[in-house]
Chain A
């Protein structure tokens, strides 16, 4: 029974699968993709700044947030390509064109893959804290060793032990009253432990350095100061290998400027977007 035929482009299914939320009043679509760890809520402080001028599309990767975890397929999501397929399917489902794709962390590379597969669909890429490869390799400094990443996987394991999966439905059932969920658990980063650990492997053991050179759309690389996950040298590497990309180093520290410094993040993205042809 291994045969799967495709259902004719079912917009509804994509919207449900990836918990797609559309807002904003403009025509030009901006799609925001969250990184490893949390969900589309990561963009909560940034998105309002673009809703007056753009059609804003938010979504959760399968396995994160309120996506349909039953759509998780280890084979499909065994590389970032599976996630890029989802991005393209959402674009097709919503009939988006000239998309400005804003990807945080691992989603920066997912955006690169999607834009390389269907360049006509995208107007520009904004890569926030990107890394094409996390593990050091010869002269390339990704910032991590294989042993470090094993440490992360064991950290995930310890943490998910405490996150009763039985709790998830309770929270899911109260999405209109988030305060109920907040009382219960670390609800913003809830995810299926098995999926999270697989996603971590795919993210941190992946190597997408060769995909950078193929990018043909205008690209902004946003680099944080003192980001242990995507250090300066990695951001600079991404900038150097994507033709005609811009490189902006922010004052914000850490890996999530969209949360720690939303105003600076908005400012950098706006300057880039406004200057697009």
Chain B
């Protein structure tokens, strides 16, 4: 048996002989102690080696921040130093140390401040990790995120442009279909025309949704602020769906709490669209029973009111795993839903986007087979009396 074949054995004694001082000195990370103003008062060999600066030059008259690139130094002054003073620690701060030969070393800094009993900062303990590899991954991550965002935006732009360009000839087709429908036709032809009509209407809805969404997502989109009556708006939304509800023999009702003010300030077009999407969905996904739209007040101030809107139905409901999905673009709760009910899958995406402009979100409660409730809060200013 040669020595190389011998099973490896640890000399525990030698390992334990390593003093804390040696471990400090040669640990695979940089250790620094600085005064609160950054002056280095203690440093380990690893850090000395990284910088290439003599230990004596580092100690006593060098501030840690002067060893950083200028970008990192600004970050140090504007973020790191305030954090240390205010919370006494800083975690995982990414900085770049300039070595003596001019090359830079990306480091990840963790820091704790030692304070006296009365809270006066005494010194900072700093650990630095060489984060060269990590920084490279981060760069790659950032680049791929930017690329993905650009591609998504290009696609959305293309979709909006195509939708716009398709809508014009589609309007012409719908006009002709309407003329055809009024003309003298035999029954089979009339059936064909009805099919043409419903298909082109569905297509127009899809295009309109795509355009509304791209409009709501554009950075220049701004909410209008104008006084309007919620009572009128709610009545308008309900009347839009009366015919559809009657056809399915659904009870469609609305109620506004007495505390809802006669006038509020907001964007009536956006709010109507939100309610139209929610009530439209409720009517569409409910085969029997009822759909209700209620508006209540959560908080009434002198300048503003917080309103609670809720749309409830006794429809098919949404399985728990579908609740998160329904807000995604072009997505419905399940493939079966999409096949059975049709639609663009864009309504809730638009709704969520519009509500986010108000700093609000939709909450969903649903039991499959029993029904769903979609609710949200809106804080709207009140007109001056």
Contacts and interface: CB of A to CB of B under 8 A. Distances in A.
Interface string B68-102: 01111111011101110111011111111000000
Given A148-B71, A161-B142, A229-B74, A260 B37 contact: yes
Interface string A3-38: 111111011110000000000000000000001111
A155 B222 contact: no
A255 interface: yes
B28 to A, nearest CB: 21
A186 B70 contact: no
Nearest to B221: A1
Q: Among A5, A10, A186, A255, which residue has the most Cβ atoms of chain B within 10 A?
A: A186
Contacts of B69: 151, 155
A186 to B, nearest CB: 5
B269 interface: yes
Contact of A13 (B79, B83, B138, B381): B381
A187 interface: yes
B185 interface: no
A105 B82 CA distance: 13
Contact of B72 (A2, A12, A155, A188): A155
Contacts of B138: 158, 161
Contact of B75 (A6, A150, A159, A254): A159
A71 to B, nearest CB: 9
A189 to B, nearest CB: 5
Contacts of A229: 74, 77-78
Contacts of B106: 158
Contacts of B357: 70
Contact of A256 (B77, B87, B93, B303): B77
Interface in A249-268: 253-256, 259-260
A36 to B, nearest CB: 6
B224 A4 contact: yes
Contacts of A187: 87
A137 interface: no
Interface in B15-38: 36-38
Contacts of B225: 4-7
A68 interface: yes
Nearest to A145: B70
A98 to B, nearest CB: 26
A50 interface: no
Contact of A152 (B37, B71, B141, B270): B71
B94 A159 contact: yes
Contacts of B71: 148-155
Q: Among B81, B142, B265, B384, which residue has the most Cβ atoms of chain A within 10 A?
A: B81
A162 B94 contact: yes
Given A1-B269, A254-B37, A260-B36, A144 B70 contact: yes
Contacts of B37: 253-254, 260
B215 interface: yes
Given A7-B381, A70-B359, A186-B91, A155 B78 contact: no
Contacts of A13: 303, 381
A172 interface: no
Interface string B51-77: 000000000000001000111111101
A180 interface: no
Contacts of A6: 225
A95 to B, nearest CB: 15
A99 interface: no
Contact of B87 (A1, A70, A155, A182): A182
B301 interface: yes
B79 A259 contact: no
Given A12-B304, A186-B87, A228-B73, A254 B94 contact: no
A74 interface: yes
Nearest to A35: B78
Contacts of A155: 69, 71-72, 74-75, 94-96
A241 B75 CA distance: 28
Contacts of A204: 74
B141 A161 contact: yes
B42 interface: no
Nearest to B301: A12
24 contacts: A1-B221, A1-B270, A2-B222, A4-B224, A8-B383, A10-B381, A11-B303, A36-B78, A37-B82, A38-B78, A38-B79, A38-B83, A41-B86, A148-B74, A150-B71, A155-B96, A158-B138, A186-B87, A186-B91, A229-B78, A254-B38, A254-B81, A255-B77, A255-B78
Which 4 pairs across A and B sit closest by C-beta, in order of nearness? A151-B71, A37-B78, A158-B94, A152-B71
